[in-house]
Structure 1
């Protein structure tokens, strides 16, 4: 995919991935969540990542964003290892914007929405080393009122501030995961125009995962379709239009309907063979066994809150490290 000239901005080489258990290894018998995925995108490409819920879109974006460890050569961004080269994100060359804007707050909880009593102006202008002209353009594109207070703003208003802060520094590769879900029609349209200009003028590469296709028919340069963690299709948008006379939304809808029918047929065949409809999931957090004891016991999957040791479910005085337990 992408232009043939020059090195790939994003390159996936036979990527396979399974979420690890507590010991850092995939649970025995688990199937790869992402399997055998190869893909190349070049400077200026605008890739639309599509697929049903659970297809693996968010996981792939996080892997490309360096948030999950994979082999050094499985995922290369700008010629560097996505996970192992931390300068990709620290320099701003690689930027990831996810669907949630949250933080962990001591004694309050995890994943608390950003809605403290602070103005949009203080948050946006608090980012140092930013080109003032680019900052002003983004504030205008997203129609942000700098007097907004985060604890009084709507979800859409907070989303605009999040996007603005995420785009303040010029990037070379941008990953977007359902980032426009809270935006109104006008804000979304203006943002998409800005992102398209970023690719055409600066040569940025953007991968955008979304389920909202209104106004996207002429936005992407490439389409990537995933199903069950496997690549089903990766084509330039011109080729997709040649394959289908339908709109982008109807085209993707036809792919997903066909996928759904195939899944139903597969489940029916399993039932006819006396098998359960769905494969039995492998629980990667269920750990059993204590080498120091004869009886195997079920353990939790992490550290007990407020302690520096893991605990046995229902027993608070268990000090055996969960790093050395045996998997069932």
Structure 2
């Protein structure tokens, strides 16, 4: 059974100049323990799709099931089974690393003792132990991103959504985050859905790629299969061909390879 399944998932915004179809019908299936890369140009609908799948934005059309629960009918059950790390993070500048992690545990219903223990456990897993008493504004970009991830993992979610998780990170921090994502999949069976503009990142991490353009899925497959299907040496070349931004013409029908 897929852990994520959507059919015609859509979101239309109403503006002063009329309706805007940000997502026009996403059909998506994600297997348990899979790392799925959700790619697309700016404005393609990636973040809107993630916000719908994480219950932050109600869909205006279609249906979705997350970890066996209907996205619209039972959003509370969906939230208990997912973690979400947004592009900008959400750290409180008045808190330390420890207090942020303990508070997150308390928000998920842990008592103070269990929340403190979980904070220390996550600090070990994400190399934050020496930073536990540091105020969050003193952290580097890579350290802040690791703390964002720790907060998203507090309740041991079955599914982790990452929206452009390595934007602004140095190469070493990016490599550390890649290793963490792989470890979550390999050791804990966590399903990971990530968006990124770094095509090398998607190539290195994702078991499967879904390319979204103008609010619909235009291609999907493993990185190797997408490159082979478009005669491309790199995933970036394949992406440019798929979206019509490269030398090869775009195909507007979904390509399953």
TM range (shorter): 0.7 to 0.9
CA distance in 2, matches of 1:72, 1:256: 24
CA–CA distance in structure 2, aligned partners of residues 16 and 73 of structure 1: 6
3-state DSSP of counterpart to 2:49: helix
Q: What is the aligned partner in structure 1 of residue 178 from structure 2?
A: 192
After superposition, the C-alpha distances for 1:150-187 in whole angstroms (9 at most, x for unaligned) are 23334443333222211233111111111221332222
**Shift in alpha-carbon separation, 1:96–1:259, aligned structure 2, 3 A:** farther
Call closer, same or farther: CA 1:253–1:144 in 2, change over 3 Å.
farther
C-alpha distance in structure 1 between counterparts of 2:134 and 2:122, whole Å = 16
| Counterparts in 2 of 1:32 and 1:259: CA distance versus 1, 3 Å | farther
The equivalent residue for 2:30 is 41
Secondary structure at the counterpart of residue 126 of structure 2: helix
Matched, 1:94 2:88: no
CA contact (8 A) 2:54 2:84 kept: yes
Q: C-alpha distance in 2, partners of 1:143/1:253? A: 42
Question: Which stretch shows the higher mean deviation, 151-160 or 221-230?
Answer: 151-160
Query: Once the two structures are superposed, what CA deviation does each residue of 1:176-205 show, in whole Å capped at 9, x if it has no partner?
Result: 111221332222212222212222333322
Q: Per the alignment, do residues 223 and 144 of structure 1 end up closer, same or farther by CA in structure 2, a change over 3 Å counting?
A: farther
Evaluate the alpha carbon distance shift between residue 68 and residue 122 of structure 1 in structure 2; reply closer, same or farther with a 3 A threshold.
closer
What stretches of structure 2 of length at least 5 have no aligned partner? 251-257
* Residue 94 of structure 1: how far off its partner (Å): 1.3
Question: What number of residue pairs does the alignment pair up?
Answer: 239
Determine the structure 2 residue equivalent to 1:281: none
**Structure 2 vs 1, CA of residues 144 and 221 (structure 1 numbering), >3 Å: closer, same or farther?**
farther
Matched, 1:162 2:148: yes
- How far is 1:214 from its partner? 3.6
- Distance across 2 between alignment mates of 1:167 and 1:144: 19
Q: Is the 8 A contact 2:39 2:212 kept in 1?
A: yes
From 67, 75, 85, the equivalent of 2:56 is: 67
Flag the 1:242–1:167 CA change in 2: closer, same or farther, 3 A.
same
Q: Give the greater-gyration-radius structure (CA).
A: 1
Q: Aligned pair in 2 of structure 1 residues 156, 136: CA closer, same or farther (>3 Å)?
A: closer
Give the corresponding residue for 1:8.
2
Verify: 1:205 aligned to 2:191, yes or no.
yes
Secondary structure (helix, strand or coil) at the match of 2:221 reads strand
Deviation at 1:75, TM superposition (A): 1.3
| Aligned counterpart in structure 2 of residue 171 of structure 1, from 157, 180, 186 | 157
CA distance in 1, matches of 2:60, 2:12: 12
Structure 1 unmatched ranges of 5 or more? 1-6, 22-26, 103-112, 264-328
Shift of 1:16: 2.2
The one of 93, 104, 109 aligned to 1:115: 93
